[in-house]
Amino acid sequence: MNHQRRLLLLGSAGAAAAASIGAPVVAATAKAGAQIDVHIELHAVPDQVSVRPGTATRVWRYRGKLLRGDTTALESSAGGYLGPTIRVRRGQRVRIDLVNGLPESTIIHWHGLHVPDDMDGHPRFAIGPGARYVYEFTVDNRAGSYWYHPHPHGRTGKQVYAGLAGLFLVSDDEEAALDLPSGAQDLALVIQDRNLDADNQFVYLDGNTGAAPQRRGMMGEGMMGGGMMGGRMMGRGMGSMMAGMMGVLGDQMLVNGSLASPRHVERRAHRLRLFNASNTRTLKLAWRDQTPLTVIGSDGGLLAAPIQRDYVMLAPAERVELWVDFSHWPPGSGLVLRSLAFEGGMDMGGMMGGGSSLPDGAAFDVLPFRVGGGTERNESPPARLSTITTAEPRMAVNYARPKVFEMTMGMMVWGINGESFDMLGASELETVKLGTHEIWEFRNEGRGSMMGMVMPHSMHVHGLQFRIIGRSVSRRFADEYGSVKAGFVDEGWKDTVLVMPGERVRVLLRFSDFTGLFLYHCHMLEHEDTGLMRNYRVEA
């Protein structure tokens, strides 16, 4: 496929032009006549939902329609604003039509999936209001907990905050043979922090999100700098500008798109799939009673075997799967999933935080559970879960010279190696050969930052799953690092990795099947939107 030609046909300008004449934009790698197993239409639309008692919250959300396939392939979310959960099996051919019912352009990214570049939701494919983008791909991922969300350049943070996100769960034969907890015992929990005003509307940077026009009077247009003092609502001006770059934190925890209410669980084994879909906040998850966590999976599916952790770190876009046997607790007991305090989070002495009173790294309750009655079963997870090939750094073509990608800050703009986002550009360093392995090192040492300030980043690579092969931290940050390091789950396949202040993380990547232009970026969405995102190009 001639790359330049495809860009001409399918770039944003082309997409907009196609929309204006009503023609759907069909991704170039769609195969005419291929057998489709699942066909879904997703409409991105303004809506109103009950997020907490009182006035309904204006949101943007995905609404789905199943046009072909098993009825299990699409499940509407119960309450809240999340999009429908898409459930597919590895090997299925999927067609998904995105219909943009929003007043601005958008595009969907299938987070964690291995798909061709024009199916991946790169911002160059964003479509305007009223337009349709047709995705078609074969699900080639391991069983696991993936998700989908918008990816238009500069507006991903705002659109996700407004409510656009949904789950994409993949199953396969290897997983099915394990007979893991299913049905009501397979709980997906999407954790997001938000700020809500007194009228239950989301507050994002300089105003409310959602379909309604911003009510500037109420949002304190004149509150210039009010947010600097840690007020709930950021006015326009310096505080908003800084939060727009550093990140937006909320003080209200939402689970699956509504106020976290107690989950009633039976006294038996459960599979808990935890998603951190927050814009910027990192979680340090643990049971409040200090019962250790049994981890069975991460971003790219099941681990080789269950592992124990006292807590797990979960940066924005990371996932972790837990095995929990609730029969360990007496009937009627309550337990609480909590985020523990940690050092090294985004903190600028109360100046930051998008108006939240809850700093990054502060402790808070995420979700209470109520344990019901029932028989004691004492179930254990299977001792072997999956086949995970050993990561072999020597397979990398640059084994002797890992590529270094350093998170940098310029004049109010983020970057990688000093370069911010360039829609169609990729440097020589960012060019890789199809069929090869490479080692990349993400460095977070605060180069170019103001006042030596360094904050965590959540690095995500599109189009593949990678392996984490090494971490090191500078002495200056050793104490802060000590409060998080026991919570990493680096054993399995990953698409997103937390890189703490002062840290260097080495990953092993394989570029297979698809050439083209893919993204790698920080998944703290305000960082991404303000430049901490670049392309890499896979060449034949």
**Minimum CB distance to Cu ion, residue 346 (Å):** 9
**Minimum CB distance to Cu ion, residue 37 (Å):** 37
Beta sheet of 108-111, edge-to-edge order: 74-75, 85-89, 166-171, 144-150, 108-111
**Minimum CB distance to Cu ion, residue 342 (Å):** 16
**3-class DSSP assignment, residue 327:** helix
Q: Which is nearer to Cu ion, 207 or 344 (by Cβ)? A: 344
**Minimum CB distance to Cu ion, residue 535 (Å):** 17
**3-class DSSP assignment, residue 151:** coil
**Minimum CB distance to Cu ion, residue 40 (Å):** 31
DSSP β-ladder status, 319-325 and 269-276: antiparallel
**Minimum CB distance to Cu ion, residue 527 (Å):** 3
**Minimum CB distance to Cu ion, residue 494 (Å):** 16
d(CA 277, CA 257): 10
d(CA 74, CA 375): 32
Q: What is the DSSP letter of 294?
A: E
Q: Which is nearer to Cu ion, 198 or 450 (by Cβ)? A: 450
Q: Which is nearer to Cu ion, 103 or 418 (by Cβ)? A: 418
Neighbouring CB atoms inside 10 A of 36's CB total: 16
DSSP β-ladder status, 252-255 and 258-259: antiparallel
**Minimum CB distance to Cu ion, residue 503 (Å):** 12
**Minimum CB distance to Cu ion, residue 358 (Å):** 19
Chain residues binding Cu ion by CB under 5 A are: 457, 522, 524, 527
Q: Which is nearer to Cu ion, 88 or 416 (by Cβ)? A: 416
d(CA 518, CA 533): 11
The string of DSSP codes covering 449-517 is: -GGG----EEEEETTS-BEEEEEEE-GGGHHHHHTTGGG---SS-BSEEEE-TTEEEEEEEE--S--EE
Q: Which residues pair with 302 in a beta bridge?
A: 297
Q: Which is nearer to Cu ion, 155 or 527 (by Cβ)? A: 527
Residue type for 31, please? Answer: K
Q: Which is nearer to Cu ion, 300 or 415 (by Cβ)? A: 415
Would you state the structure tokens that stand for residue 522, as one six-digit string? 């920080």
Query: Given CA atoms 119, 120, 122, 123 in this order, what sign does their dihedral have?
Result: positive
**Minimum CB distance to Cu ion, residue 407 (Å):** 7
Q: Which is nearer to Cu ion, 160 or 522 (by Cβ)? A: 522
Contact 159, 246 (CB under 8 A): no
- Rounded to 10°, the helix 3-10/12-20 angle is 40
DSSP β-ladder status, 207-208 and 252-255: unpaired
